[in-house]
Amino acid sequence: MDLPRLVRAGTPTEVSVLAVIASVLGLGCLATATFPMAQTTLRGVLVVLTLVNLTAALTLLLAGARVSPFFMHVAVVFLTTIIGVMVATAATERGLMMSALGFTWIGVYAAIFFPPVAARRYAALIVAALGISLLSARAPTAVLVWITISAMVWVGVAILTGYTTRLRAAAHTDGLTGLLNRTGFAEAAARIRPMAERRGEQLALAVIDLDDFKLVNDRGGHLAGDRLLVDLALVWSAALRPGDLLGRFGGDEFVLMVAGPTGDEADHLLARLAQAHPATWTAGAALCSAEEPLDDAIDRADARLYRAKESRRSARPPRSAHEHRELVAAKPA
């Protein structure tokens, strides 16, 4: 089995890592069965555990991207149970400790790949499973083992969940404005698009580009440009409804996605954004179906934005701030 090839073929990281954990557990059981630490080692049980772990690893890798989030939770609970059996059936104190360390791998995995609430629940499950397996262990043990490994799991989960939460936030939000970045916007859109389809709502997407943003930077410096972007993010976010998405894709480009029964919600919301701040901008909007790739919908809205920009350049300059803020986005269609 070529593990790197399977991973390159599209196996998600969380699936491949769990498969590696199961493989290591299986190979550890196989090594102990082949070279037992004591005459009382239950070699037959270890052979069964080897087959179970390796089968679980192979199943995860072959399923790849088809593994559902629910099945991932099932797999983690299953491996936690297997580790508990390994601890309970260990013939020596050394084997018991080595097996019990497998619980820390599950805790680290949960902290990295699951939300903080789920990770803490798994930490509680691990502590309970460890206690039960130690109570029924064949090898001599002490309560200090339970306390030590439980503390390792809780501290590891607490540190890693805080760290991964910050990493996820950094990966999904724009560092300057706090709005969604391209990655965060795409993931949020992937969640709301099926919901809008089930409710029979239209989804409209608008691309917004600030007018003469380069002049702001030239006259006031980049700090002035940054302040303008931050101000716009604050007032525009306040104008949004629950469920509306607003992201910054870089520079002075913003992207908005709204859902509603008529498809005109983008026009109404863009009008509110125009009234919320005196900065001038141009927008292009388009309806997007639940099946259409997000990038395609953004490209269509961006094409309308470009045409609106060209139309503005060929027209006379606006005579008032109100004219300059006039919504020039094409209606969603």
Q: Which positions are annotated as active-site residues?
A: 252
Nearest partner of 207 among 278, 275, 315, 309, judged by Cα: 309
Nearest partner of 270 among 196, 190, 328, judged by Cα: 328
Tokens of 136: 């029924």
Strand order in the sheet with 202-210: 245-250, 253-260, 202-210, 281-287
Cα separations in angstroms, 204 against 34, 55, 252, 258: 63, 46, 20, 5
Cβ atoms 271, 209 nearer than 8 A = no
Cα separations in angstroms, 91 against 13, 51, 100: 34, 20, 13
What is the C-alpha to C-alpha distance for residues 33 and 50, in angstroms, rounded to an integer?
9
Tokens 């969603």, residue? 332
φ, ψ (nearest 5 deg) of residue 264: -95, 0
